[in-house]
Amino acid sequence: MNEVPVHPRRRTRGTARLLAGGALAVVTVVASAAVATLAHADLPGPPGTTLKAAAERSGRYFGAAMGRDRLNDQGFLTIANREFDMMTAVNEMKPDATEPSRGQFSFAAGDAIYNWAVQHGMRLRGHTLAWHAQQPRFWSSLSGSALRQAMIDHINGVMAHYKGKLAYWDVVNEAFAENGSRRNSNLQATGNDWIEAAFRAARAADPSVKLCYNDYNIENWTYAKTQGVYNMIRDFKSRGVPIDCVGLQTHFTGGSSLPGNFQTTLSSFAALGVDVALTEADVTNASASQYQGLTQACMNVPRCVGITTWGIRDSDSWRGSENPLLFDRNSNPKAAYSAVLNALNAASTTVPGTTTPPSTPTSPPPSTPPVTPQPGACTATYRTTSSWDGGFQGEVTVANNGSAPLSGWTVSLTLAGGQSLVNVWNGVNTGTSGTVTVRNAAYNGALGAGASTSFGFVAGGSSGTAPGSISCTSP
Ligand code: G3I
C-alpha cells in the first residue's frame, strides 16, 4: 500500500457536548455452581443472515467505518444498522479533528457518530490518538518535550471525553516504516519511547478501554515491518507497557494481496497476549476469495475479535475506483459479502487450539496446572456504560477470585420486563429476554487465578433498570 497522504487540516466547529450516558450502576453477585464444560464448537442457533449476527455467534463483531456526512445518507444508515455492530469514525476522532487548537477540544463530529452508533446497538473503535498524519496544526510548531507534552495532553483530553464509552482506541497509528524501523516523524523525533509514553498515558486516562496499536502492511508474517511491530509488542508485553490489541488494517489494494501466512501473523501476535483485529479491510475489486481468506484467518484465531471494513459501499471508500468493499454503489451485496458471511458462520467449526501455531513461537505455551475451581471463584460485576431513551449498554466483568485457573465461564442475568438483548460481544448469549445466559467467547474463557475479562451488550427497552440476579458459574 502506498503511504497515506497527509491530510489538509480540518476545520471543526462547535464545542464539546455531553455524550449519552449517566451514572454507573454497579451490581456484584458471587455464585458457585458446576456447569457442563463449554465447547466453542457448540454455538447457538441457526447461521446468521447478517454480518453482525454471523460474527456474534462466536462472540466477535463485524464493523464498518463512517464519516459524519453519512449520517445524512439513508442508504448507508440502513445497511449499517442491519449488518454492523461496531463503528469507527473515518476522520472525526483523529487529532486534527478533536483538538484544532491547543486545549480547545471539539467533539461535535465524533459525538454525532458515537451517538448514532450507540443508539443503534453498536460499539465503537476510537481512531486515533497519535499519528504522523492529520495532526493538529499547532503540533507543527512544536518539537522535543513540548511536542511530547502536547501529545500526552491530547490523549488525556480526548480520552477523558470518551472515558468508559469506547470498546477500543487506536492509541498509535502507523508508526513503522516498511523496513521495520520506526517511521521518521515529528513524534519519533521526540524520542524512541514516544509510543510507550502514549500507551501509558492512555491506560491512566481510561483503564476500561482496550488500547491498540494499528498499522498497514503488517499482514505478511515475513515482512520486515510486520516483524518490527511484532518485536515492539513483545517488548511492551515483557516490560509491562500497557497494550491490549493490534489492529491489522488489511488494505489488500494497490498491489498488496492476502498473504498465505496471514493466519500465522494473527496467531503470532495473539500468542504475545494481545487481541488482534482486522481494522480497515478493503480488497481490490472485492475479490471474494481474498475476503473469504481474510475472514477465515480471523475465525481460525481465537483472539481475533472482529473485522471492520473501511466503509460499506464502494461509494464510501477512500479507494472507490477499485470497488473494494462488500456492497456496490446501489447498496447490493456482492459475491464477497456471501463469502464473508459463510466464513463467519463457519466459525462454529473452529475449536481453540487447532489453529496454525506461530511460525516463530516466542513464548512457551501457558502452563496448565490441574484445575480445581473453588466455590465462589467466579464473580460477575455489572455496570451500565451508557444509556439513552429506549436502550442501554452494559458491561459485565467476570473475575476469577479463586486460586485455581478457570477454563470457561457462564454468566446468568435477568433483564427487566420489556428489555431485550440487541447484541452481545466478547461472549455468546442464549436467549434475549428474561433470564439470559452469556458464556465466554472462544478467546476469553481461560482465566488464571486473579484474572478477569469482560463482555458487553446493548439492550433495548426501558433504560433505567439494571439487570438483576447476576451470577457466574464455571466448570
Ligand atoms: O473535508 C475536506 C473537504 O472539505 C475538502 O473539500 C476536500 C478536498 O480534498 O477534502 C476533505 O478532506 C478529506 C478528508 O479525507 C475527508 O473526506 C481529505 O482531503 C482527505 O485527505 C481525507 O482522507 C482520509 C485519510 O485517512 C487521510 O489520511 C480518508 O478520508 C480516510 O479514509 C483515511 O483513513 C486512513 C486511516 O485513518 C488510517 N489508515 C489508512 C486509511 C486510508 O487512507
**Is residue 348's pLDDT more than 70?**
no
**What percent of the chain has pLDDT above 90?**
69
Q: Give the model's pLDDT for residue 349.
A: 39
Report the alpha-carbon distance of residue 61 to residue 427 in Å, rounded. 11
Q: What is the pLDDT of residues 61-109, one digit of tens each?
A: 999 999 999 999 999 999 999 999 999 999 999 999 999 999 999 999 9
Among residues 353, 349, 234, which one has the least CA distance to residue 296? Answer: 349
- Identical fold between 51-346 and 378-473: no
Residue 21's pLDDT band, with cuts at 50, 70 and 90, is: very low
DSSP class of 315: G
Q: What is the pLDDT of residues 211-243, one digit of tens each?
A: 999 999 999 999 999 999 999 999 999 999 999
By three-state DSSP, how is residue 394 classified? strand
Q: How far, rounded to the nearest angstrom, does the alpha carbon of residue 252 sit from its chain's CA centroid?
A: 20
Q: Is 257 exposed, middle or buried (0-12, 13-18, 19+ CB in 10 A)?
A: middle
- Of residues 421 and 66, the one with the higher pLDDT is 66
Residue 174 designated active-site:
yes
With contact defined as beta carbons under 8 Å apart, do 384 and 393 qualify? yes
CB of 11 shorter than 6 A to ligand 1: no
- Of residues 133 and 45, the one with the higher pLDDT is 133
Strands in 3-83 per DSSP E: 26-30, 61-66
DSSP class of 41: T
CB of 90 shorter than 6 A to ligand 1: yes
Q: Give the model's pLDDT for residue 256.
A: 81
CB of 218 shorter than 6 A to ligand 1: no
Domain range list for the chain: 51-346, 378-473
DSSP class of 333: B
Report the chain's mean pLDDT, rounded to a whole number: 86
Q: Give the model's pLDDT for residue 37.
A: 29
Residue with CA closest to ligand 1 atom 9: 8
Report the alpha-carbon distance of residue 409 to residue 302 in Å, rounded. 16
CB of 4 shorter than 6 A to ligand 1: yes
Residue with CA closest to ligand 1 atom 23: 7
Q: What is the pLDDT of residues 130-185, one digit of tens each?
A: 999 999 999 999 999 999 999 999 999 999 999 999 999 999 999 999 999 999 99
With contact defined as beta carbons under 8 Å apart, do 50 and 56 qualify? no
What is the number of the ligand 1 atom nearest to the C-alpha of 5? 28
Assigned architecture for domain 51-346: Alpha-Beta Barrel (3.20)
The pTM assigned to this predicted structure is: 0.78
Q: Give the model's pLDDT for residue 374.
A: 52
Q: Give the model's pLDDT for residue 351.
A: 39
**Is residue 446's pLDDT more than 50?**
yes
**Is residue 255's pLDDT more than 50?**
yes
DSSP readout, 99-155?
Answer: -SBTTB---HHHHHHHHHHHHTT-EEEEEEEEESSS--GGGGG--HHHHHHHHHHHH
Report the alpha-carbon distance of residue 397 to residue 454 in Å, rounded. 4
Q: Which of 13-17, 87-91, 310-314, 417-421 has the lowest mean pLDDT?
A: 13-17
Report the alpha-carbon distance of residue 34 to residue 474 in Å, rounded. 6
By three-state DSSP, how is residue 253 classified? coil
Q: How many residues does the chain have?
A: 475
| Cell of residue 257, nine digits | 494481496
| Cell of residue 207, nine digits | 483503564
**Is residue 7's pLDDT more than 50?**
no
Catalytic choice (56, 83, 92, 280): 280
By three-state DSSP, how is residue 246 classified? strand
Query: Strand 435-440 vs strand 378-388: parallel, antiparallel, or unpaired?
Result: unpaired
Residue 126's pLDDT band, with cuts at 50, 70 and 90, is: very high
Q: Give the model's pLDDT for residue 352.
A: 37
- In sequence order, what are the beta bridge partners of 396? 382, 455
- Of residues 241 and 362, the one with the higher pLDDT is 241
Rama region for 436: left / alpha / beta (φ>0; ψ in -120 to 50; rest): beta
Residue with cell 504522523: 132
What is the number of the ligand 1 atom nearest to the C-alpha of 127? 37
What is the sign of the dihedral through the CA atoms of 92, 112, 312 and 332? Answer: negative
Report the alpha-carbon distance of residue 106 to residue 93 in Å, rounded. 9
How far is the centre of ligand 1, averaged over its atoms, from the C-alpha of 130 (Å)?
16
**Is residue 118's pLDDT more than 80?**
yes
Q: What is the mean pLDDT of residues 434-453?
A: 89
- Of residues 173 and 386, the one with the higher pLDDT is 173
Task: Provide the b/e sequence for 263-281 (b: ≥16 CB within 10 Å).
Answer: bbbbbbbbbbebbbbbbbb
Report the alpha-carbon distance of residue 114 to residue 66 in Å, rounded. 10
Report the alpha-carbon distance of residue 288 to residue 339 in Å, rounded. 6
DSSP class of 185: -
CB of 91 shorter than 6 A to ligand 1: yes
C-alpha gyration radius of the chain: 21
With contact defined as beta carbons under 8 Å apart, do 316 and 68 qualify? no
Q: What is the pLDDT of residues 296-347, one digit of tens each?
A: 999 999 999 999 999 999 999 999 999 999 999 999 999 999 999 999 999 8
- Of residues 445 and 114, the one with the higher pLDDT is 114
**Is residue 42's pLDDT more than 90?**
no
Q: How many other CB atoms are found less than 10 A from the CB of residue 182?
A: 16
Report the alpha-carbon distance of residue 122 to residue 86 in Å, rounded. 5
CATH code of the domain occupying 378-473: 2.60.40.290
- In sequence order, what are the beta bridge partners of 101? 104
With contact defined as beta carbons under 8 Å apart, do 61 and 67 qualify? no
Residue 219 designated active-site:
no
Whole-angstrom CA distances from 251 to 83, 177, 274, 334, 368 are: 21, 16, 21, 18, 38
Q: How far, rounded to the nearest angstrom, does the alpha carbon of residue 46 sit from its chain's CA centroid?
A: 25
Q: Give the model's pLDDT for residue 177.
A: 98
Q: Give the model's pLDDT for residue 383.
A: 87
